[in-house]
């Protein structure tokens, strides 16, 4: 996934508070992903898609037998896995059970971050190196705290440019308001984000070709349905498995997350994308909302080296200017998009792309350049293992 993260760790904890404590302690080393409630099958599936070599398993007196069996089962299936038990450090029986089950070490809840990070560093030196999966496609996230149809408008056009570059591309539209990417293009869909989560194990080339909505030039779109669960209700484990499955079938995925409230699911997307485009305009109120989220993530230790600032609806004679915004957000400005209200309104109302309505307009040219930049970043990535598009065409 994102090259800005050195490692991925899995954790089964008592509650979200324990998970956040562990995430904070290990933020300098990588991302901690919740492995759900303790299912061995789910844990092993996550190990396969995350390439995690270290797993934290919480123990408690009420469930210690099942938890010890989980550790034993995981190590039987993955002997090279390192498991660290979590629990009450004053309970010697828990420590003894963890060691008997095969845990490498035991960490007491609430331990100092430096102690936890130090233990992980020591264990990591003894573990075999993990080879990155070069078969996964590129992943770009468009995020901004404000919700409006322009987020979907921009994501549509960036994804279309990448698709036209020759890369099989998916637009995953999870922005708010829901489903704007489809509505802007006058499309309908019977298969949505929630359906993909429910059919994770069936997500193959046949399902993608038959169920995913197809737009111009073969661009595929997977969007929210009105009755899908909110993003914050989706577990990081589910998202990780979904993204890994989709990235085996698409060379590039553009994800629209504009308007989404802060959540563990949102942070999972942001932490594991190759390019984060932070979407804002010159509206000071929206800038404050964006900065509140950005500063919270930085305080929690999230690595945002792959983040760039995308400034929309830009007016040259209005403050703050692009340089000021870049310094305020402490992000490099990747593009400044012209206001062009008439062109945007016509595109939204007529269901036509900017490339059709105003191919020479400044806004259109900027979006084309931005899409080409994203396409160039994923050109060096290996083609997906299952190249369904070529297979359908009968080419190798």
Asked whether residue 142 is assigned to any structural domain, the reply reads yes
Question: Could you tell me if 328 and 385 lie in one domain?
Answer: yes
Q: Which domain holds residue 120?
A: 7-126
Question: Could you tell me if 243 and 164 lie in one domain?
Answer: yes
Q: What pLDDT is recorded for position 331?
A: 98
CB atoms within 10 A of CB 196: 22
Structural domain ending residue among the three candidates 97, 126, 155: 126
Asked whether residue 357 is assigned to any structural domain, the reply reads yes
Q: How far apart are CA 309 and CA 321, in angstroms?
A: 13
Q: What pLDDT is recorded for position 30?
A: 87
Q: What pLDDT is recorded for position 130?
A: 63
Q: What pLDDT is recorded for position 134?
A: 55
Question: Could you tell me if 208 and 302 lie in one domain?
Answer: yes
Asked whether residue 49 is assigned to any structural domain, the reply reads yes
pTM for the full predicted model? 0.86
Asked whether residue 106 is assigned to any structural domain, the reply reads yes
Asked whether residue 39 is assigned to any structural domain, the reply reads yes
Question: Could you tell me if 142 and 234 lie in one domain?
Answer: yes
Q: What pLDDT is recorded for position 314?
A: 98
Q: How far apart are CA 26 and CA 124, in angstroms?
A: 13
As averages over each run of 10 residues, the pLDDT of the chain (396 residues) reads 62 91 90 87 89 94 94 95 93 94 94 95 84 73 96 98 97 97 95 95 93 96 95 90 92 98 93 94 97 95 93 97 98 98 96 96 98 83 47 39
Q: What pLDDT is recorded for position 391?
A: 38
Q: How far apart are CA 233 and CA 249, in angstroms?
A: 25
Asked whether residue 132 is assigned to any structural domain, the reply reads no
Q: What pLDDT is recorded for position 5?
A: 42
- Provide the number of structural domains found in the chain: 2
Question: Could you tell me if 22 and 99 lie in one domain?
Answer: yes
Which domain CATH number covers 297? Answer: 3.40.50.300
Which domain CATH number covers 106? Answer: 3.40.50.2300
Tens-place pLDDT, residues 306-320: 999 999 999 999 999
Q: What pLDDT is recorded for position 210?
A: 96
Tens-place pLDDT, residues 144-159: 999 999 999 999 999 9
Question: Could you tell me if 58 and 165 lie in one domain?
Answer: no
Asked whether residue 133 is assigned to any structural domain, the reply reads no
Question: Could you tell me if 155 and 120 lie in one domain?
Answer: no
Q: How far apart are CA 139 and CA 273, in angstroms?
A: 5
Structural domain ending residue among the three candidates 60, 93, 126: 126
Question: Could you tell me if 232 and 362 lie in one domain?
Answer: yes
**212-241 CB burial, b ≥16 within 10 A, e <16:** bbebeeebbbbbbeeebeebeebbbbbbbb
Helix 40-50 to helix 236-247 angle (10° resolution) is 50
Question: Could you tell me if 223 and 249 lie in one domain?
Answer: yes
Question: Could you tell me if 310 and 180 lie in one domain?
Answer: yes
Asked whether residue 143 is assigned to any structural domain, the reply reads yes
Structural domain ending residue among the three candidates 91, 126, 161: 126
Question: Could you tell me if 92 and 14 lie in one domain?
Answer: yes
Question: Could you tell me if 149 and 119 lie in one domain?
Answer: no
Q: What pLDDT is recorded for position 379?
A: 67
């Amino acid at each position: 996934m994102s090259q800005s993260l050195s490692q991925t760790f899995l954790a089964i904890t008592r509650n979200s508070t324990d998970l956040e404590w562990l995430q904070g302690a290990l933020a300098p080393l990588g991302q901690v992903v919740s492995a759900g409630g303790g299912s061995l099958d789910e844990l092993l599936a996550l190990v396969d898609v995350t390439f995690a070599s270290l797993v934290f398993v919480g123990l408690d007196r009420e469930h210690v037998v099942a938890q010890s069996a989980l550790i034993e089962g995981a190590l039987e299936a993955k002997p090279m896995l390192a498991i660290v038990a979590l629990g009450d450090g004053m309970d010697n029986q828990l420590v003894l059970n963890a060691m008997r089950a095969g845990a490498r070490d035991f960490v007491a809840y609430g331990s100092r971050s430096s102690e936890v990070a130090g233990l992980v560093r020591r264990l990591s030196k003894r573990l075999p190196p993990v080879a990155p999966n070069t078969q996964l496609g590129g992943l770009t996230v468009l995020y901004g705290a404000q919700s409006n149809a322009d987020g979907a408008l921009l994501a549509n056009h960036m994804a279309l440019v990448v698709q036209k570059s020759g890369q099989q591309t998916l637009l995953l539209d999870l922005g708010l308001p829901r489903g704007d990417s489809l509505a802007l293009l006058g499309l309908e869909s019977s298969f949505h984000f929630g359906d993909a989560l429910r059919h994770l194990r069936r997500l193959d080339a046949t399902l993608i070709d038959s169920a995913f909505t197809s737009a111009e030039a073969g661009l595929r779109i997977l969007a929210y349905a009105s009755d899908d669960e909110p993003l914050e209700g989706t577990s990081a484990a589910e998202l990780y498995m979904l993204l890994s499955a989709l990235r085996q079938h698409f060379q590039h995925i553009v994800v629209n997350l504009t308007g989404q409230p802060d959540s563990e699911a949102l942070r999972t997307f942001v932490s594991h994308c190759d390019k984060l485009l932070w979407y804002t305009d010159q509206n000071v109120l929206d800038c404050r909302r964006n900065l509140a989220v950005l500063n919270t993530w930085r305080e929690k230790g999230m690595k945002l080296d792959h983040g760039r600032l995308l400034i929309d609806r830009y007016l040259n004679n209005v403050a703050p200017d692009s340089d000021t915004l870049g310094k305020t957000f402490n992000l490099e400005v990747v593009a400044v998009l012209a206001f062009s209200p008439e062109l945007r309104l016509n595109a939204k109302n007529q269901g036509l792309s900017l490339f059709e309505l105003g191919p020479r307009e400044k806004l259109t040219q900027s979006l084309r350049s931005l899409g080409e930049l994203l396409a160039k970043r994923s050109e060096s990535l290996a083609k997906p293992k299952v190249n369904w598009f070529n297979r359908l065409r009968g080419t190798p």
